[in-house]
Amino acid sequence: MEILSIDISPKTPFVKFNAQDGKLEFRGRSIPENSIEFYTPIFEWIDKYSIQPKGETNVNIQLEYFNTSSSKCLLDIFKKLQSLHISSKSKVTVTWYYEEDDEDMLEAGEDYQAIIKVPFVMSKI
């Protein structure tokens, strides 16, 4: 499977998904003009990856800020990962990074953690 790599921009995060090591990474800001358009290739990549995933899948989320439409897309990603985790095809772990003084980002991670049945690790940076 090809590595999915999307360069960072002022409005979109750096994204890198590597099926060989089971690592999915988001970094930056997510305020795209059209969230569905931006996130569709990510949804498709996860669907393909879910067919033959690694035994462990590690998801690292280090976002400075995301808008409401990105929040919905992130939830959809987490739901796909939850299905993968529940199926026992892959042990999925999400590490949610937040800056020490960023209560909003910590709370956002805790909200996802409460909704999604995948292990979350809150990591202060």
- pLDDT (tens, 9 = 90+) of the chain, 125 residues, equals 899 999 999 999 999 999 999 999 999 999 999 999 999 999 999 999 999 999 999 999 999 999 999 999 999 999 999 999 999 889 999 999 999 999 999 999 999 999 999 999 999 99
Output the pLDDT for position 52: 94
What's the pLDDT at 16? 98
Residue 52 burial (C-beta neighbours within 10 Å; 0-12, 13-18, 19+): exposed
Domains, the chain, in order of start with CATH, read: 4-124 (3.30.750.24)
Name the pTM for this structure: 0.94
Residue 77 and residue 113 in contact, taking contact as beta carbons nearer than 8 Å: no
What pLDDT is recorded for position 77? 98
